A and B are shown apart, each in its own frame.
Chain A
């Protein structure tokens, strides 16, 4: 996948040589246009990096897109981590726990169910699958308030479960895994394993799950991002700052910085900015490391309808 991207969309080897050489040539105008687009997408991130090195005063007085004379990134990071008895560390850890548990759980549940729907027939399987498929269109936030009301009834509000449980069910993940399993797990292999006397559970964990790995990583990664970035659900479910994920925490700091103006709380601004920078680093790294997987997984989901 990654090597293929650098190769040109190859015209036919039998095509006239003239056309072939024409499309092998790189286009400078197109490259420049795309670099301009790239600048738009990277500009806010560059601003964030620059802003993280500044004091409140430099943020206001110095030009936003260049570093000040006295960079203080380290001081800002230290301040971010020590503010309010280190609550930022809690937010980072909470986010990591919520995201990892949700992503692992959602990926495994979707893989098992997708495999079940793809490789077995049973009573009501089509109806159940269609019901879940329809739920892809039910928006998460329209579901969030009813879920909150229900969780309030059973006492789950303001616990980590309030954030994790709703993230475990990923209808689109199930759809993706079903499509993936139908292709990636050959029936003949399952038959062979059955003839050898393997039980269904063992076949799934020992054979199928390995073949499903790329699809599984895709669901894992996208649930990870969705949970890491989730704001609405934890915002309504949690009211103890110690349980906040980073998104809710940062927005509460941003509100303080906004109300504070100058004075003691005016110094919140660099914390919001530096905290924002720190919060995006893990995900960017995860995406860069796992790009082989999310691309092939997305290809599966987008082509088969």
Chain B
């Protein structure tokens, strides 16, 4: 397992893992998911066998890279997708204009 320090804030490393990309796909489909919902989606829709703890660690990596934001609403904790860090990629390597 990669350490927090090497991954912290690194968008490229955050995107390098297929489970983390699937998490982003599912949050794009519906924002505001609990850890439980994300785990259920990964297992049932993507066939991942990740433990809840592993998914929680993936979410920590995504949050450190700014791709996932968490918010507490009362007693619940929800995860939202934030794609704005992806702009640093296209700012660095321009997309074709047409």
Q: Do A and B come from one complex?
A: no
Q: Which residues of A contact B (CB under 8 A)?
A: none
